[in-house]
């Protein structure tokens, strides 16, 4: 007779799922904080010009975007077919640019305000008269750091 009995049937225990909701909610909060949603709905057509050289924007949070172009087809009946300036989600005129820059500056930290950059996304077929007016308004608002957005072109394709 042996002291230890061998059990012939081994039951596998059930998996504990008590922490599963915690893990799911942690993943949900992680993706909610990391996901960047589209900030601006474009109401104009912007066909950016091509460029062989350019510099990538390092901190997108420091940039304020001004879009210049023709309205999309759905809005041509309402706003006409003249070039429009879009600041955030609405069409504005040149005098409104100074207020826009002031609001954008106020939304930044005090340490980041001198680093503020204005990115101009301009359709390639827009006349320079509108662009010059926008640049004059930016100069009056003391927004002197300006970047022109473009489409990168492969250098190999140019040869």
The larger pLDDT score, comparing residue 149 to residue 12, is at 149
> In this prediction, what percent of the chain has a pLDDT beyond 70?
89
Domains of the chain (ranges, CATH numbers): 44-155 (3.30.420.270)
The whole-angstrom separation of Cα 125 and Cα 46 is 9
Rounded (to 5) percent helix, strand, coil in the chain: 35, 20, 45
The conformation of residue 4, written as its DSSP 8-state character, comes to S
Give the chain's mean pLDDT.
87
pTM, two decimals, is 0.72
Q: What pLDDT is attached to residue 58?
A: 82
- Between CA 18 and CA 26, with CA 22 as vertex, the angle to 5 degrees is 160
Q: What pLDDT is attached to residue 66?
A: 95
pLDDT in tens, 60-70: 889 999 999 99
Q: What pLDDT is attached to residue 60?
A: 85
Extended strands (E) in the chain: 44-45, 50-51, 63-71, 84-87, 90-92, 117-122, 146-148, 151-152
pLDDT in tens, 21-53: 999 999 999 988 888 776 778 889 899 888 888
């Amino acid at each position: 007779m042996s002291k230890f009995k061998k059990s012939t049937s081994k039951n596998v225990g059930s998996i504990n799922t008590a922490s599963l909701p915690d893990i799911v909610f942690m993943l949900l909060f992680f993706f909610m904080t990391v996901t960047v949603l589209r900030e601006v709905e474009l109401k104009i057509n912007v066909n950016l010009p091509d460029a062989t050289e350019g510099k990538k924007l390092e901190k997108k949070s420091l940039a304020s975007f001004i879009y210049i172009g023709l309205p999309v087809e759905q809005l041509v009946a309402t706003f006409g077919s003249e070039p429009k300036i879009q600041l955030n989600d609405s069409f504005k005129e040149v005098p409104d640019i100074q207020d826009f820059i002031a609001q954008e500056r106020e939304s930044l930290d005090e340490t980041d305000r001198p680093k503020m950059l204005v990115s101009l996304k301009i359709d390639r077929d827009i006349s320079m008269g509108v662009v010059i007016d926008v640049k004059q308004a930016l100069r009056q608002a003391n927004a002197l750091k300006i970047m022109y957005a473009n489409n990168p072109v492969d250098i190999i394709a140019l040869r």
